[in-house]
A and B are shown apart, each in its own frame.
Chain A
Amino acid sequence: METSAYIRTENVRKVYNPGRPDEMTALDDVSITVDRGAVTVIKGPSGSGKTSLLSVIGCMSRPTAGRVFVDGKDVVKLPERFLTGVRRKKFGFIFQQYHLIRNLNTLDNILLPLYPTNMMPPEMKRRALAVMAKLSLSGKQHSRAKNLSGGEQQRVAIARALINDPAVIIADEPTAHLDRGLAAEFMRILASLCGEGRTVLIATHDPFIYGHDLVGKTIAMRDGRIEEER
């Protein structure tokens, strides 16, 4: 397995509401590497800055200072429209709350990333059905997101993250709402994604995940700083 760094951060700092009474430093001097094709876990208690770091790496927000390299390119200074392109082509996100559109059906939720592309609708559907089959979601395409179980919602979120065939899967507290059985199912899915050569970055405080054999690197965070990397 190739283990060169696919993502690298240098002295990243993220401050929310700078200059205001409620100013809060979420990340302070964070420098990490995420290896290509491996599972990297960022662990730490709530408020330690895990989600902020995922957002900065995933081009969902810009750091206040520091640099972020994705596949060798510094993405911090990229204009908004290029940043969107990076987000769409390189990353697939699985959010803690899944962030599905509740009134949309499963198929349309999965197709969301493909709407602002020039892919023809039949090809979009073919690709979505293939991903759904892989995640045991066949037969659920017309079910509305709000009517799905927690495990099903998570698999829809994974399917949506995979539809663009991204190089990196970013998952934020993916097992927070799952029982142990479903968490094990999630890890099996991750194993298959790694088998396809994808890079996986997970933020969690669930020992079941960061103690899992699949994890190649664990980064511990506390109060916005890196506490340990091994």
Chain B
Amino acid sequence: MIKHLKIIDYALASLLRRKFKSLAIITAFTVVVTALASILLFTGALKKEAELVLAGAPDLIVQRTAGGRHDLIPAAYADKIREIPGIGMVIPRYWGYYYDPLTEANYTILGTDGKAERLELLEGRLPERDGECAVGAGIAEMQRTVGGGELILVDSSNTGVLYEVVGVFRAASSLLTNDLIVLTDNEVIRFFGLPSGKATDISVQVYNREELQTAAAKVKRMLPDTRPITRTELVRTYEMVFNWRSGMLLTVFSAAVIAFCILAWDKATGISADEKREIGILKAVGWDTSDVLALKFWEGLIIALTAFLLGTIAGFVHIFFFNAFLLAPVIKGWSVVFPDFHLAPHLDPYLVFTLGFLTVAPYVASTVIPAWKTAVTDPETIMRG
């Protein structure tokens, strides 16, 4: 134990003796880990947000399609869907997108009958009368309003409408409510100028989750101009989008990782004459091959762990405290036109382990393996050069 502590002490001193070289490697390594950690943390956090969103999503969403595009659906379809056995609550939903030219952001406006069970993360209450609204945290921040404040929106007839803010969402998932404005159903119909008897889509509850696909097929058979979307399909779509985006970034970034690996390998394999000589001296004065390998192992581990910790912390801060300003335009894609939302800090131990394994292990190996080649040679041969 004492022996290993002394070898670690020597390894630290050895790195400090080559402080500029060590610092340069740690810096380059940290940048690589930061970028990798940022991509993985960001994608992971978005997936987590999506999971939270979808946990509260309806079992089935029924949309009407016309010409392959989403179209308004007759609200009367809800009554037909209710007739299918195994179907629970069926609610026509009224919602749409609103572009605010002042803040240059898109909002989602959603109607409510005031009974929505899943909007519990609210400070205040849901709107109960026309002229009232509840808003997401992102909108409250952009519009500089709070509960009891006011919000002006321009409706489909280009008329400004003043709403009283009666509630502000503080959702654990800001992705869920960040860009959301909730009005009464009647107010949404009036605001968007929706034709009478038409809804945006219909949410459907299915009692037996195992029967979701069957229920969707029955809806499709009964109403051929509709497209039923199950929650599973939504989850899959989200995951594919996030995986594709992070995969694309990782592919681009892999060039940098490979370049770094080549640099690390070159550094390690190209043990300088001085380092070789030092290994020769250590062996000559009584260091065993295993002692030399332990020294190189600790040197590599100290550098790799330092860079890994710094890179992971930097990645965490970048994603969760600086809103992923370097990655957001690429990964969030079209959603940049929505109000900025803050990802809830979330660190998956499996992700940290994977990141550590992918960065620390190769570097330590690329340090120890070439040193082993020198360390097993007779000290006389090493010192003769």
Known: A84-B283, A115-B6, A118-B3. A61 touches B288 (CB 8 A): no
Q: In the docked arrangement, what's the CA distance between A108 and B10, Å?
A: 9
The answer to whether B227 has its CB under 8 Å from any CB of chain A is no
A61, A101, A103, A108: the one within 8 Å of B378 (CB): A61
Residues on A with beta carbons closer than 8 Å to the beta carbon of B277: 99
The answer to whether A113 has its CB under 8 Å from any CB of chain B is yes
Residues on B with beta carbons closer than 8 Å to the beta carbon of A89: 286
Residues on B with beta carbons closer than 8 Å to the beta carbon of A115: 3, 6-7, 10, 287, 291
Q: In the docked arrangement, what's the CA distance between A55 and B282, Å?
A: 15
- For window 149-203 of chain B, which residues contact chain A by CB distance below 8 Å? none
Q: In the docked arrangement, what's the CA distance between A164 and B287, Å?
A: 12
The answer to whether B284 has its CB under 8 Å from any CB of chain A is yes
Residues 43-75 of chain A: 1 if any B CB is under 8 Å from the residue's CB, otherwise 0?
Answer: 000000000000100001110000000000000
- For window 310-344 of chain B, which residues contact chain A by CB distance below 8 Å? none
The answer to whether A112 has its CB under 8 Å from any CB of chain B is yes
Q: In the docked arrangement, what's the CA distance between A12 and B380, Å?
A: 17
The answer to whether A160 has its CB under 8 Å from any CB of chain B is yes
Q: In the docked arrangement, what's the CA distance between A88 and B285, Å?
A: 6
How many A-B contacts if CB must be within 8 Å?
71
A62, A100, A113: the one within 8 Å of B286 (CB): A113
**Number of interface residues, chain B, beta carbon within 8 A:** 27
The answer to whether A210 has its CB under 8 Å from any CB of chain B is no
B2, B281, B291: the one within 8 Å of A101 (CB): B281
Q: Check if A93 sits within 8 Å of B285, measured CB to CB.
A: yes
B285, B288, B290, B376: the one within 8 Å of A112 (CB): B285
Q: In the docked arrangement, what's the CA distance between A93 and B280, Å?
A: 13
Residues on A with beta carbons closer than 8 Å to the beta carbon of B240: none
Q: In the docked arrangement, what's the CA distance between A93 and B7, Å?
A: 21
B284, B288, B383: the one within 8 Å of A116 (CB): B288
Please tell me the size bucket of the interface on A.
Answer: 20 to 34
Q: In the docked arrangement, what's the CA distance between A62 and B378, Å?
A: 8
Give the Cβ gap from B385 to chain A, nearest Cβ, in Å. 11
Residues on A with beta carbons closer than 8 Å to the beta carbon of B280: 99
- For window 107-138 of chain A, which residues contact chain B by CB distance below 8 Å? 108, 112-113, 115-121
B282, B376, B379: the one within 8 Å of A60 (CB): B379
Residues on B with beta carbons closer than 8 Å to the beta carbon of A87: 284, 286
Residues on B with beta carbons closer than 8 Å to the beta carbon of A213: none
Q: In the docked arrangement, what's the CA distance between A88 and B281, Å?
A: 12
The answer to whether B142 has its CB under 8 Å from any CB of chain A is no
- For window 236-292 of chain B, which residues contact chain A by CB distance below 8 Å? 277-278, 280-291
Q: In the docked arrangement, what's the CA distance between A117 and B281, Å?
A: 16
Residue of B nearest to A99 (CB): B281
Residues on A with beta carbons closer than 8 Å to the beta carbon of B289: 80-81, 84
Q: In the docked arrangement, what's the CA distance between A121 and B7, Å?
A: 12
Q: In the docked arrangement, what's the CA distance between A103 and B383, Å?
A: 17
Q: In the docked arrangement, what's the CA distance between A101 and B280, Å?
A: 11
Q: In the docked arrangement, what's the CA distance between A76 and B378, Å?
A: 13
Residue of A nearest to B274 (CB): A102
Give the Cβ gap from B249 to chain A, nearest Cβ, in Å. 42
Give the Cβ gap from B92 to chain A, nearest Cβ, in Å. 78
Q: In the docked arrangement, what's the CA distance between A115 and B284, Å?
A: 13
Residues on A with beta carbons closer than 8 Å to the beta carbon of B284: 60, 87, 93, 95, 99
Residues on B with beta carbons closer than 8 Å to the beta carbon of A118: 2-3
Residue of A nearest to B18 (CB): A103
Which of B277, B282, B376, B380: most chain A Cβ within 10 A? B380
The answer to whether A104 has its CB under 8 Å from any CB of chain B is yes
Residues on B with beta carbons closer than 8 Å to the beta carbon of A95: 284, 383
B2, B17, B286, B290: the one within 8 Å of A120 (CB): B2
Residues on B with beta carbons closer than 8 Å to the beta carbon of A160: 285
Q: Check if A84 sits within 8 Å of B287, measured CB to CB.
A: yes
Give the Cβ gap from B286 to chain A, nearest Cβ, in Å. 3
Residue of B nearest to A54 (CB): B380
Residues on B with beta carbons closer than 8 Å to the beta carbon of A104: 17
What are 7 A-B contacts defined by CB distance under 8 Å?
Answer: A60-B378, A60-B380, A99-B281, A104-B17, A112-B285, A116-B286, A160-B285
Q: Which residues of chain A have a CB within 8 Å of any CB of chain B?
A: 55, 60-62, 80-81, 84-85, 87-89, 93, 95, 99-101, 103-104, 108, 112-113, 115-121, 160, 164
